[in-house]
Amino acid sequence: METITETYLQSKLEDRRKRLQAAMATPAANTSIEALLTEVDAALERMRDGTFGICGQCHDTVEAERLIADPLVRMCLDHLDEQQRRALEQDLELASGVQRALLPPHDINAGGWKLHYCYEPAGIVSGDYCDVIPDGASGDVFFALGDVSGKGVAASLLMTQLHGIFRSLVNSNLPLDQLVARVSRLFCESTTAGQYATLVCGRASVSGAVELCNAGHLPVFLLRDGEVRSLEAKGMPLGMFGAGTYPSERLQLKRGESLVSYTDGLTESLDGASNEYGLRRLAQFLNGRDALEPEALTGACLAEVKNFSRGVRQHDDRTILVLRRN
Ligand SMILES: [Zn+2]
């Protein structure tokens, strides 16, 4: 474990220790609190003797995101007993259901725009964020696609956090750059050191204008006149620093033009010889596919990547979102 994370977990454990001791001083004190306190002390002891984060069974390292979620964890995922494994699987299924319920409808037609996305977690839960929010009053459509650092449960919790922050601020009528700066500040406060999210978001208006903000994410591809143009990031990832600027850019899309955004689970897919799929292949694949509707285009891209990496286990969440002017 990185020292900074361990220092953070140590202060968390010491804080919990105080709370447990305070709870024991009340008449409701019981043996389960005593047992917990013993476990907290044992974890602090492991920090002192340098065995914290090491599996008690195989002496391999315990998954960092599990330690962040619960610093009392002693075994790696491979060495849970049957009961612990079942409990963990049930928790994950529940978390996965919660996450899926946060996703927007797969097809959205609003304000002269057609949107479709595909969302494929590598595990049960995902660290990818995808949202589409039509504004009934103005006809504008807000869209966002992001990727939270790390994997597994910790990343999925942050993804949920990001979803909540955007949903609470998106109707505040803030200009896009200020909206993203505010989301970043709030996200920064809710993350631990070293966690961040890259993100592309935008507002598409009835007139065909799109205001786009790319915060440290992979380039967005614009399909125009049979060519693919790459729109690069102009801002830092969200949550890296409390203060950051997120310049947006304005585009004017004509009928039949599309914007394609995706997460690195697509472009970093590997083939059997560990070659990366890469940005260039994706841009080449998109080239000349302007005529495809969003659903057909997202499906074709995913099928292409899956074909490239056939026989290789998917190691990262894959999300792709296409927005097309009708
Ligand atoms: Zn183990």
pTM above 0.75, yes or no: yes
Gap from CA of 41 to ligand 1 centroid (Å): 21
List the domains of the chain with CATH numbers: 3-79 (1.20.120.910), 103-146+197-237+248-325 (3.60.40.10)
User: Which amino acid is located at 216 in the chain?
Assistant: G
Gap from CA of 96 to ligand 1 centroid (Å): 25
Q: What is the pLDDT of residue 202?
A: 97
Gap from CA of 124 to ligand 1 centroid (Å): 21
Tell me 141's DSSP state: E
pLDDT digits (tens, 9 = 90+) for 207-233: 999 999 999 999 999 999 999 999 999
Residues 129 and 121: beta-carbon distance below 8 Å: no
Percent of all residues in the chain with a pLDDT value above 70, rounded to a whole number: 97
* Average pLDDT rounded to a whole number, residues 190-207: 88
DSSP, collapsed to helix, strand or coil, labels residue 319 as strand
Gap from CA of 56 to ligand 1 centroid (Å): 7
Indicate the pLDDT class of residue 193, thresholds 50, 70 and 90. low
* Displacement of CA 165 from its chain's centroid (Å): 13
Indicate the pLDDT class of residue 241, thresholds 50, 70 and 90. confident
Gap from CA of 27 to ligand 1 centroid (Å): 39
Gap from CA of 59 to ligand 1 centroid (Å): 6
Gap from CA of 80 to ligand 1 centroid (Å): 8
The H or E element containing residue 213 is strand 209-215
Strands 141-148 and 227-231: unpaired
Structure tokens at 276: 């990366």
Quick one: how many helices (H) and strands (E) in the chain?
9, 11
* Average pLDDT rounded to a whole number, residues 272-284: 97
Rounded CA separation 4/100 (Å): 32
Mean of the per-residue pLDDT values for the chain? 91
Gap from CA of 84 to ligand 1 centroid (Å): 13
pLDDT digits (tens, 9 = 90+) for 28-82: 667 778 888 899 999 999 999 999 999 999 999 998 878 888 899 999 988 988 8
Using CA atoms, how far residue 224 sits from 169, 302, 315, in Å, is: 32, 21, 32
Strand 220-224: give its sheet, edge to edge. Answer: 107-110, 113-120, 318-325, 258-262, 220-224, 227-231
Gap from CA of 85 to ligand 1 centroid (Å): 13
Q: What is the pLDDT of residue 195?
A: 83
